[in-house]
Amino acid sequence: MQAFMGVPYAEPPLGDLRFRPPVPKAAWEGERLAVKDAPICLQRDPFRRDMIIEGSEDCLYLNVYTPESPKVNGSLPVMVWFHGGGWQCGSGISSFYGPDFLLDHDVVLVSANFRLGPLGFLSTETLDCPGNNGLKDQLEVLRWVSANIASFGGDPKSVTVFGESAGGASVTYHMLSPKSRGLLHRGIAQSGTYFNPWAQPAHKGVAVSRATKLAELVGCGSLGDWPEKLQCLRGKPAEDIVASLYDMFVWDFDPMIPFPPVIEPEHEDAFLTVPPRQAPPPHGLQLPLMVGATAEEGLLKTAALLNLPHLMAEFKSQFDQVLPVVLNYDHHEDSVKQSITQRIESFYFKAGHDYDKANHQNLTDLISDGWFVAGIDEYLRLRMSHEDVAPTYVYLFDHKGAASFSEIFKGERNEFYGACHAEELQYLFPIGRELFVSAVPTKQDLELRELMLQLWVSFATTGNPNPTNVTTSLPVWNAASSYPVEYVRLGTKADDQVAATKASLFRLENELMQHRVDFWRDLKPHLPASHAHNEL
């Protein structure tokens, strides 16, 4: 394997370039060492409840990994990875998203940093700072790949963009934005689409109010218009800008993403000018897609609720006030919020709020559905509503492995709550070596890892995940084209080794959480017409 690390794709977004779109990196003369990771983008991690600010504002770099001795002749398919972290934390560095597993196969892997939090997504809702610079960084990565990847043995006409959580939602944004047309040819959206409430563009007025609050927090609020305030903000320490993220939360670390994508005013460099629900059919409908979720996505939130008693007490006692903030429907009028909360409560908590660590499934399902499953289902319905759409392959990751991401989100070590958000990442990347140093993968973990790598690489190579060169015969994974949704369940939760060896890691099923997604889809008709496009 060959690794080219810390390759600059844009000029450092410092000084006057802060809060502006990326500027392509100018050419340089001579050789440049590309042997180590660049710094991560400046950030603060609310998902780990971390008070540390780390990283650098000079972070717009990418890594390219190529197999040393490919088994095939010619250019190789390219896989471009956009990390998760709510567009406010995370990175593309090798210790997390390295090539150790994927580069056992004939692909070129690209992972990249992009600006995060207010440095990447601040918007004044005017042309002074229209926003979406983090997504525009990703766009610049795709342009760099198109222009340069052939020099690394990659095929610029065979680019699969894949990502998890906000990275998955980013994939769908690139399948929507006209700016990305032609730069990607397939997409893999893991646990995220732009229909998830945390990923939807901020409602009009929200972004500018948060920009105003940030300016006040760092001492720029007393200045007159936005050009003056932005000039002041560009002179402030980047750490002070990033620190302001935590002042945007209303309850606990919610709303989950204070600086999401925005709808920009019309201008030449705009990435997004129309809300996704109002956009014409996106060009991504013509691109093959893999999309899926984990079985207990909601552990991203409920792991902390279950293990921090004061937090759970607040959640239960202030349920009517807290839930609209957590699930991003607090922008509605009080009567609408109350109606939504009552409907949710009657669906998930028929027996009342008696959930705890031993009885958390309904609570976790609520967060799973409100944050992830309903938005993924809506994206599936968008694709299936068009006759000429490219194939769409759906999966559900449902595995009990040697380690679980619920531990990262404040769950207790050695307690298994379910297949947590981000759980599948350790089967695609060597991320477990960094996060779960004492966990020894089981035989089933290793088998699932190899299976998933074959599925992901096959899809990146042909647009079809069904492997063609494996000795083990698998059922044919058909594209989903109608309801009930046909999907593959990946993994097993069997506890004892005898049962686990007999349980298949690849099972074809129908009706993906049908009863639950039907409930969320049914919420829309109960909203006033003026609110319907801003639903959950």
531 confidence band (pLDDT: 50, 70, 90):
very low
The residue ranking higher by pLDDT, 278 or 532, is 278
Same fold: 2-287 with 298-531: yes
- The residue ranges of every structural domain in the chain are 2-287, 298-531
* Phi–psi pair at 289, nearest 5 degrees: -140, 135
Which of 21-25, 278-282, 303-307, 497-501 has the least mean pLDDT?
A: 497-501
- The fold of 298-531 is Rossmann fold (3.40.50)
The pLDDT mean for the chain works out to 93
pLDDT single digits (tens) 173-211: 999 999 999 999 999 999 999 999 999 998 899 999 999
The residue ranking higher by pLDDT, 47 or 238, is 238
Which residue is catalytic, options 57, 264, 297, 486? 297
* Phi–psi pair at 43, nearest 5 degrees: -165, 165
Tokens of 184: 């990607």
pLDDT value for 95? 86
pLDDT at 224 over 90: no
pLDDT value for 111? 98
- How many residues make up the chain in this entry? 536
pLDDT value for 536? 60
Task: Output b/e per residue, 244-272; b: 16+ Cβ within 10 A.
Answer: bbeebeebbbbbbbbbbbbbbeeeeebbb
pLDDT at 222 over 90: no
Adjacency order of strands within the sheet including 392-397: 2-8, 61-66, 108-112, 76-82, 154-164, 186-190, 289-294, 392-397, 486-490, 506-510
497 confidence band (pLDDT: 50, 70, 90):
low
pLDDT value for 500? 65
pLDDT value for 112? 98
Q: Rounded to whole angstroms, how far apart are CA atoms 428 and 180?
A: 25
Q: Rounded to whole angstroms, how far apart are CA atoms 186 and 119?
A: 29
Tokens of 354: 């008696």
Which of 27-31, 79-83, 382-386, 400-404 has the least mean pLDDT?
A: 27-31
3-class SS at 488? strand
pLDDT at 326 over 90: yes
Which residue is catalytic, options 94, 111, 123, 165? 165
68 annotated active-site: no
Q: Which of 159, 3, 180, 141 is nearest to 77 (CA)?
A: 159
pLDDT single digits (tens) 294-322: 999 999 999 999 999 999 999 999 999 99
Tokens of 465: 């995940």
Which of 25-34, 118-127, 313-322 has the least mean pLDDT?
A: 25-34
pLDDT value for 496? 66
527 confidence band (pLDDT: 50, 70, 90):
low
165 annotated active-site: yes
pLDDT single digits (tens) 446-468: 999 999 999 999 999 999 999 88
pLDDT value for 477? 96
pLDDT value for 279? 96
- The fold of 2-287 is Rossmann fold (3.40.50)
pLDDT value for 15? 97
Q: Rounded to whole angstroms, how far apart are CA atoms 424 and 527?
A: 35
pLDDT at 532 over 60: no
Q: Provide mean pLDDT across the span 8-29.
A: 96
Contact call for residues 477 and 508 (beta carbons, < 8 A): yes
Of the CA atoms within 13 Å of residue 161, those in its CB half-sphere come to 28
pLDDT value for 1? 82
pLDDT value for 535? 55
Q: Rounded to whole angstroms, how far apart are CA atoms 429 and 446?
A: 12
Q: How many CB atoms lie within 10 A of CB 442?
A: 14
Considering the entire predicted model, what is its pTM?
A: 0.96
pLDDT value for 530? 44
| pLDDT cut 90: percent of the chain above it | 82
111 annotated active-site: no
Contact call for residues 82 and 112 (beta carbons, < 8 A): yes
* Phi–psi pair at 526, nearest 5 degrees: -90, -5
pLDDT single digits (tens) 279-288: 999 999 999 9
Cβ neighbours of residue 69 under 8 Å, at least 6 residues apart? none
Q: Provide mean pLDDT across the span 499-515.
A: 86
Which residue is catalytic, options 83, 332, 399, 421? 421
Task: Output b/e per residue, 160-179; b: 16+ Cβ within 10 A.
Answer: bbbbbbbbbbbbbbbbbbeb
pLDDT at 99 over 90: yes
pLDDT value for 124? 98
pLDDT value for 526? 57
